[in-house]
Amino acid sequence: MKEISITSSFLVFDTLDELSNDIQDLMTEAIAIRKKAYAPYSQFRVGAALLLDNGKIVVGSNQENAAYPSGLCAERVAIFYAGAAYPEAKILKMAITAASDTNQTTAPIPPCGSCRQSIAEYEIKQDNPIEIYFMGEIGQVYKSASLKNLLPFMFDKKFL
């Protein structure tokens, strides 16, 4: 028997002002769409903005449904739209922000497991890492250089 150790590393930005202008703009798009989320059940709003290699920005917000789990997370709304509208484009960067209607979220909130798996599918498909920036409503922003950093044991088609 042996033990393996896997490490993940993140860049931490204390404020949005520390981000480059293009990432600030991407996060601003994510914040704007977060406010339009349909979240009557959880009262937890999430916005995602993707920068594609063709220069387009695609956004998505969480869309809940009384027949849980029929809704979709913001990240998957944005990714699936990008895949449908721009199937040849690569996703370069993703900005995610989350806020609660009942209390202020100050810790960076990463994508859920289902979203991580969906992002993994596109990262593997395009054979190019996707930079992921995530934050709460306010406060620090974390940057992951790729989805593999968030999900080191990715499940993909090679296992099928």
Annotated binding-site members: 62-68, 73, 112, 115
Long-range contacts of 54-57 (CB under 8 A, 24+ apart): 54/86, 54/89, 56/86, 56/89, 57/26, 57/29
Q: Which residues are annotated as a binding site for substrate?
A: 62-68
Beta carbons within 8 Å of 139's beta carbon, 6+ residues apart: 106, 107, 108
- Residue from 75, 88, 131, 137 carrying the catalytic annotation: 75
Helices (H), the chain: 21-34, 74-85, 113-126, 147-150
Please say if 75 is a catalytic residue. yes
Q: Find the length of the chain.
A: 160
Q: Classify residue 156 as left (phi > 0), alpha (psi -120 to 50) or beta.
A: beta
Radius of gyration of the chain (CA): 16
Q: Which residues are annotated as a binding site for Zn(2+)?
A: 73, 112, 115
Q: Catalytic residues, which ones?
A: 75
